[in-house]
Homo-oligomer: A and B are copies of this chain.
Amino acid sequence: MSVNKQMKLASRPIGMPSEDTWRLESNAIPSPGPGEFLTKIEYVSLDPAMRGWMNDMKSYIPPVKIDAVMRAGTIGKVIESNHDGYKVGDYVTGSMGVQQYAVSDGSFCVKTDTFGLPPEKFLSTLGMPGFTAYFGFLEVGQPKEGETVVVSGAAGAVGSVVGQIAKIKGCRAVGIAGGPEKCKYVVDELGFDACIDYKQGDVRSGLKEHCPDGVDVYFDNVGGEILDTVLTKINRGARIPICGAISQYNNKEAVKGPSNYLSLLVNRAMMKGLVVFDWQDRYAEGGMQMAQWMQQGKLKSREHIEEGIENFYPTFCKLFNGEKKGKLILKV
């Protein structure tokens, strides 16, 4: 047990990554220097955005370097410390990567009081995905009571929170998800008004049925055909927060742009991109509000936890093959 297992990026994938994309290494556990501390990582977050970090192109964050530890959000416990702000036993969330131990000087991480809640919640609704939903939907989507909100990836870590906040704010919430099981979960467990199964049928007729007053906010996690279809149903003045485009991340060809984007013109509608980091100074506010909603039973979250760092690759695949049920997390 005296080694640090690390999952390193071995090559840049084209299209869907393969087993060779990463390489598992066993290295010595590092020692914290002055002003540093050592964290034993308990949980690693798996997010669709990771696919983007692997491409060698300009984005909101530099790409992961070849032979570097794969970037990932993490939560773990301080086990050794030369840092005044972190003492042994403190929980730390941050971007420590797919490995078992990490040394940090405190950058890119934050001490986290879990209030006795399961630590994995802080990689889910009380972490990045939750903040993405909270700020992206409320700040970019600007929902108003009585409006109709559609969200794709509705059973996912971000989408599930968007729809539940839509309900809290008095909106009609309609999800789009893949498969009857996910759709049932979204409606029966999360309380959405409806959920369209894009694998079963026609998204267009589903929108027609479930959004009789059109679509005022479309929170997009998937891009592709679904974005194009929703564009045909938006109302005047609609807002479309662009959070992701999971349908396009493993494309070998060019991304499919939304052919119906001129619906923005006709409807004086807006499409706006968002990156959660922009609300960094308000994470505490979002976290407090969502923790309160959780206590009140208004906001539910589900984590899908796999175990073992050696299972990183098959777990990663579950981000894209529709197999995960809830926020995907790896216990390392």
Contact = CB atoms under 8 A, between A and B. Distances in A.
A305 interface: no
Contact of A274 (B261, B268, B275): B268
A52 to B, nearest CB: 9
B243 A265 contact: yes
Interface stretch (A113-121, A167-175, A250-258, A314-322): A250-258
Given A243-B265, A255-B259, A258-B258, 15 more contacts: A59-B266, A60-B267, A242-B262, A255-B260, A257-B257, A257-B259, A261-B261, A264-B273, A266-B273, A268-B273, A269-B273, A270-B270, A270-B272, A270-B273, A271-B272
Interface in A32-76: 58-60
Contact of A254 (B259, B265, B266): B259
Interface residues of A, number: 33
A253 B204 CA distance: 20
Contact of A256 (B243, B257, B265): B257
Interface string A271-288: 111110010000000000
Contacts of A228: 257
Best-surrounded residue of A265, A272, A274 (most CB of chain B within 10 A): A265
Contacts of A156: none
Given A228-B257, A278-B268, A245 B273 contact: no
A324 to B, nearest CB: 22
Contacts of A269: 272-273
A223 interface: yes
Contacts of A262: 223, 242, 245, 248, 255, 273
Contacts of A267: 60, 273
Nearest to A267: B273
B275 A268 contact: yes
5 contacts: A242-B264, A243-B265, A248-B262, A257-B257, A258-B261
A244 interface: yes
A153 to B, nearest CB: 14
B264 A271 contact: yes
A141 to B, nearest CB: 13
Contacts of A268: 272-275, 278
A256 to B, nearest CB: 7
A260 B254 CA distance: 9
A273 B265 contact: yes
A310 B97 CA distance: 71
Contact of A261 (B242, B263, B265, B278): B242
A166 to B, nearest CB: 21
B274 A271 contact: no
Nearest to A58: B266
Interface in A203-258: 223, 228, 242-245, 248, 254-258
